[in-house]
Amino acid sequence: MSPMETFQSDAVERPLFRRRLFWALAVSLLIHAAVIIWFRQTRLPDFNASPMERLVPRIFNVKNITVDEKILDGEESQQSPQPQESKPVLKPISLPDELPVADVSEGKMSPGIPSTADLIKPIANDKPAPESNEAQAIARVQDSAKMVMEQDLDSLKDSLIKDQPPNVTHSLIKIPEDAQGSDSAGADAAQMAAASGALDKLLGRGLRNGDAPVSLPGGALFEFDSSAVRTAAMDQLHKLGMLIEKSPNVTFYIEGYTDSFGDANYNIQLSQARADAVRTWLIQNMDVDPSHIQANGYGATRFLVVPKPVDMHSQASIDKEKLLEQPNRRVEIRFKFPKAQ
């Protein structure tokens, strides 16, 4: 279809569309006008009631109401009184009416105010318990506190042992040297007896070049975790002093050693202090020449018994290792002869 034909077709339909639109508007206006007129002329029966009446019926009806005349006269309040809570009655405390009086007799002034005990006496009703009951109560409190303290110490010790890693070769916790009991003491006594026999032999024939060093057990020489010399070791130290006096050309080296337990730096300090204690005792008590004695501490080194891994969770394993390393805790006496000319 050509553009000219399309244009002519649209021009023909326009008047017809306009007429239809006009009649549709007219019909719509007539309908709206009829509705408005009907609503204006028609009245609903529910809306003819007076303003005071309700459209919705009441839920209940009241037939008779009795009103107190006093309320109408205004003698009582419209609001109902609230019930008052009962409060405890406090009894007044009677205090003495005495006034402070100054007693100036014999140059002293004493106030006449009643004492605190007199003021509290009317108030307190409890009777004091006998002294025996108080003493028993104090004793029970002390016993319970002691039991609680012991339980806390036991739990703390168990927690410290459990926190240690298993199979630790060298422990940072210093374990007492006497923890093994009679076994440790017996080993120290045996070593001291052997050292005493070696000193007697050297005193009898004299020192010779190449003699083996004399080993004195640390547990028999010193107190636990200390450099204080035990009284029981004086005999062996006296023999050592005699051997030094008998060998003026020999230099004696006093060397201290510890086992593998404990901190390395602490073990070195302890071994040095113990070697110095032996040297000092010989100089002060035997009058030996200080230039012939040298003291050195080597700590946890030069083991006579090689340490083994220890289970720190087992006390039996710890005691066994401590007993095994008994020879490592010692003081050795070495001899150095002068060079041949």
Asked if pLDDT for residue 288 goes beyond 80, the answer is yes
Q: Report the Cα–Cα distance between both ends of the chain, in Å, rounded.
A: 146
- Structural domain includes residue 127: no
pLDDT digits (tens, 9 = 90+) for 101-110: 545 444 444 4
Q: pLDDT band at residue 170, thresholds of 50, 70 and 90?
A: very low
- CB contact at 8 A, 253 and 276: no
pLDDT at 338: 87
- Structural domain includes residue 239: yes
Find all residues with CB under 8 Å of 132, minimum gap 6, and list them.
none
Higher pLDDT, 127 or 62: 62
Question: Which three-class secondary structure state does DSSP give residue 37?
Answer: helix
Asked if pLDDT for residue 191 goes beyond 80, the answer is yes
pLDDT at 81: 54
- Structural domain includes residue 325: yes
Higher pLDDT, 89 or 251: 251
pLDDT at 188: 81
Asked if pLDDT for residue 116 goes beyond 50, the answer is no
Asked if pLDDT for residue 171 goes beyond 50, the answer is no
pLDDT at 5: 55
Asked if pLDDT for residue 211 goes beyond 50, the answer is yes
Q: What would you report as the CA-atom Rg of the chain, rounded to the nearest whole angstrom?
A: 57
Mean pLDDT throughout 63-81?
63
- Structural domain includes residue 264: yes
- Structural domain includes residue 21: no
pLDDT digits (tens, 9 = 90+) for 7-45: 555 666 778 888 888 999 999 999 999 999 988 887 766
- CB contact at 8 A, 249 and 208: no
- Structural domain includes residue 318: yes
What pTM value is reported for the model? 0.47
pLDDT at 278: 94
Q: For the ranges 66-80, 158-172, 187-201, which has the lowest average pLDDT?
A: 158-172
Q: pLDDT band at residue 185, thresholds of 50, 70 and 90?
A: confident
- Structural domain includes residue 135: no
Higher pLDDT, 135 or 110: 135
Higher pLDDT, 148 or 274: 274
Asked if pLDDT for residue 133 goes beyond 80, the answer is no
Mean pLDDT throughout 323-333?
90
Q: For residue 323, which of 299, 305, 311 has the smallest C-alpha distance?
A: 305
- Structural domain includes residue 251: yes
- Number of structural domains found in the chain: 1
Asked if pLDDT for residue 317 goes beyond 70, the answer is yes
Q: For residue 208, which phi and psi values (nearest 5 degrees)?
A: -130, 150
pLDDT at 333: 94
pLDDT at 122: 47
Higher pLDDT, 287 or 157: 287
Label the pairing between strands 214-217 and 330-336. antiparallel
pLDDT digits (tens, 9 = 90+) for 216-249: 988 888 877 788 888 888 999 999 999 999 999 9
Expressed as residue numbers, the domain containing 306 is 177-336
CATH of the domain at 197: 3.30.1330.60
Reading the block at residue 95, the tokens are 């205090």
